[in-house]
Amino acid sequence: MIRPSNLLPRRTAWSIALISILAAAVLFLAALQYQWIGKLTEAERERLQARLSTSVELFRDSFNLELTQLCNAFRRNLFPPATEDAHVNCLVCRRGAAQVTCLDLPRQ
On whether both 66 and 25 belong to a single domain, the answer is yes
On whether both 90 and 62 belong to a single domain, the answer is no
On whether both 20 and 70 belong to a single domain, the answer is yes
Assess if residue 40 is contained within a domain. Answer: yes
Assess if residue 51 is contained within a domain. Answer: yes
* pTM of the predicted model over 0.75: no
Q: For the chain, give the mean pLDDT.
A: 77
pLDDT at 14: 84
Assess if residue 2 is contained within a domain. Answer: no
Higher pLDDT, 53 or 99: 53
On whether both 51 and 87 belong to a single domain, the answer is no
How far is the CA of 93 from the CAs of 21, 69, 90, in angstroms? Answer: 89, 20, 5
On whether both 60 and 15 belong to a single domain, the answer is yes
pLDDT at 82: 58
19-43 pLDDT, tens per residue? 999 999 999 999 999 999 999 999 9
Q: 81: domain range?
A: 77-108
